[in-house]
C-alpha cells in the first residue's frame, strides 16, 4: 500500500470533526485483521489447561472471544465517527506461549466503508477481558502493540503489515 504524498485527515472538514460521507461509494467485500499482545507472565501461563485458562470468573479465553465479538458489533457506539456496519463474519485466534497471548481478530463485511476499527476494537476488548479476568494473579499484566495487520477492499486496496 502506498500513502499519498500529502495525505489529508478524512474526518476533518473545514476544521471541524465529521463523519466521512460514504453515500457515493459502492458496497464491496471488506476485511480487516488486527492483533494485540497480552503479557500475562509465566506464572499465569503455567495454569493453562485444556486450551484455556480457568479462573474464578470462568474460562478466560472463551470469555475474551465473547466480549471481543460483542465489541465488534458495538464499535460505532464507541468510536464517534465510525459508521454502523453489518458484520458478516467475526473470528478470533488466540495463540498462547510461555509468557502470554497473541490475540487476532478478523472481521468481514460487504459495505461502503471498511472494518479496520471493528477488528481493532474486537482485539482490544478481548485483551482487556483477559486482563480483567487475570488481574488478581498479576498486577503487572501488559497489553501491547494493538495494530492493524491487514485489510482488503475499498479504494486503497490491500494492506499488509510489513514483517
Grid coordinates representing 57? 470468573
Alpha-carbon distance 142 to 130, whole Å?
Answer: 10
Strand, coil or helix: what is 13? Answer: strand
**Nearest alpha-carbon partner for 32 in 113, 146, 108, 124:** 108
Alpha-carbon distance 63 to 158, whole Å?
Answer: 31
Q: Which of 14, 51, 52, 132 is labelled catalytic?
A: 132
* Catalytic status, residue 132: yes
H helices then E strands: how many in the chain?
A: 4, 9
Alpha-carbon distance 13 to 80, whole Å?
Answer: 15
> Mind telling me the catalytic residues?
132
Amino acid at each position: 500500500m502506498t500513502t499519498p504524498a500529502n495525505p489529508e485527515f478524512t474526518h476533518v472538514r473545514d476544521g471541524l470533526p465529521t463523519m466521512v460521507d460514504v453515500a457515493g461509494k459502492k458496497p464491496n467485500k471488506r476485511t480487516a485483521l488486527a492483533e494485540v499482545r497480552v503479557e500475562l507472565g509465566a506464572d499465569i501461563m503455567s495454569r493453562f489447561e485444556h486450551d484455556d485458562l480457568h479462573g474464578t470468573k470462568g474460562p478466560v479465553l472463551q470469555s475474551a472471544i465473547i466480549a471481543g465479538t460483542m465489541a465488534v458489533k458495538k464499535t460505532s457506539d464507541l468510536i464517534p465517527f465510525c459508521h454502523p456496519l453489518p458484520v458478516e463474519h467475526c473470528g478470533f485466534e488466540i495463540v498462547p506461549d510461555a509468557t502470554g497471548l497473541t490475540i487476532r481478530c478478523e472481521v468481514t463485511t460487504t459495505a461502503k466503508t471498511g472494518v479496520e476499527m471493528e477488528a481493532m476494537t474486537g482485539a482490544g476488548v478481548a485483551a482487556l477481558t483477559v486482563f480483567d479476568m487475570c488481574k488478581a494473579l498479576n498486577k503487572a499484566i501488559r497489553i501491547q502493540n494493538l495494530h492493524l495487520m491487514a485489510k482488503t477492499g475499498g479504494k486503497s486496496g490491500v494492506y499488509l503489515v510489513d514483517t
